[in-house]
Amino acid sequence: MHLDFDEFSLDLKNLYPSIQNVIRMKNKFSNDIKMVKLELTCAKARDDLLNNKLVYVNYSCYEIEEYIAPVNVLICSKCCSIGHFRRQCAEQDETCKSCRQSFKDLKMHHCSSIIKCKHCNGDHLSNFMKCPVVKTFRADLTKKLMNINNNVTSYSSSIAANIANNNTSQHINNDFPRTAAPWAPSSNPMDLKLNTLISGLSQVNETLSKLCVTNQGFQQFMIEKNENDKRINNEIDDLKSINNKMDQDVMVLNEKVNDLDKLMKSNDGIFKQFLFPMLDDILKFIDTKNVGRGGKTVDPDLKSKIDRFRNQMSDAMGGKSFI
């Protein structure tokens, strides 16, 4: 039958004002199912609904059952036992979750690949959450938690009713709990596992606190690192700018060197085409005047210097000699 869920929720809240939320339940595929969960703010209204076992909305009758939320079950990764962490495990040997055999070091263990549960001897892993023993443990743990909650709720409701009904200061012994006996350690395995679970949760909270402190330190480190990286990047940008300026200066210097080289080549051409021939003619003229009567050289030393200077000019002209 199709109905408007929002309208249905509003009608329920009008009938029972203590209903805080109406939640549509879903299956494992996240599809809506026919069951809804009611969250109430009043324990008495909850007890009334459970006792009536029925609720009427818009001329339709709906059954009511107590909702028990599933409890997470701890399975030790070392010994595969139920109810504690690996850190709280008191076993010396490690248990293979496949074949349930125990060894000092599982790294040296060669598994037979025959799957056998440690708890029920079934053909599944020892940490399988749908194991009958694990499901029974979860159900017992859930019921125990619910019983503790119900006892506290019923006791509080009884005290409130007595206060409301009795205007006189009359005390009835049955209205008060008996003085608790001296506490003695419980030998119930379930209580021991619960105590171990509570202790494990306390240690988890301590570990989470330490992780928060470590995370804050890491975040501070990352902030400082980012600032240092930013400063280094700025320095690298400055170095790149200086390098670019130096490259520009080198290009300008190369241009000046090229210009100077061109000028030198131009001057060299002037020397070879004009000055060297003129000097060679002057030296030849001086050499002719250095000859006396009879064709003898007047100053042999001068002639030697003239010849050496003409040879040097010849080498400078690329091997071309002038006679």
- Over the stretch 8-52, which tens digit does the pLDDT of each residue have? 889 999 999 999 999 988 888 889 888 999 988 888 888 888 899
Residue for token digits 């818009």? 58
> Over the stretch 60-91, which tens digit does the pLDDT of each residue have?
899 998 876 667 788 898 888 888 888 888 88
pLDDT at 171 over 60: no
Query: Tokens representing 39?
Result: 């969250």
Q: How confident is the model at residue 168 (pLDDT cuts 50, 70, 90)?
A: very low
Q: What are the residues facing 23 on neighbouring strands?
A: 37
Long-range contacts, 267-272 (Cβ 8 Å, 24+): 271/316, 272/316, 272/317, 272/318
Q: Are 79 and 89 in contact (CB under 8 A)?
A: yes
* DSSP-based three-state secondary structure for 22: strand
- Asked whether the predicted pLDDT for residue 133 surpasses 80, the reply is yes
Please check the confidence at residue 187 and state whether its pLDDT lies above 80.
no
Q: What percent of the chain has pLDDT over 90?
A: 14
pLDDT tens digits for range 291-308 = 877 777 778 888 888 888
Of 292 and 157, the one with more pLDDT: 292
Mean pLDDT of the chain: 79
- H/E stretch holding 56 reads strand 54-57
Q: Identify which of 22, 47, 18, 50 has the alpha carbon closest to the alpha carbon of residue 36.
A: 22
Confidence band (pLDDT; 50, 70, 90) for 163?
very low
Tens of pLDDT, residues 228-260: 999 999 999 999 999 999 999 899 998 888 888
CA-nearest of 24, 54, 53 to 36 is 24
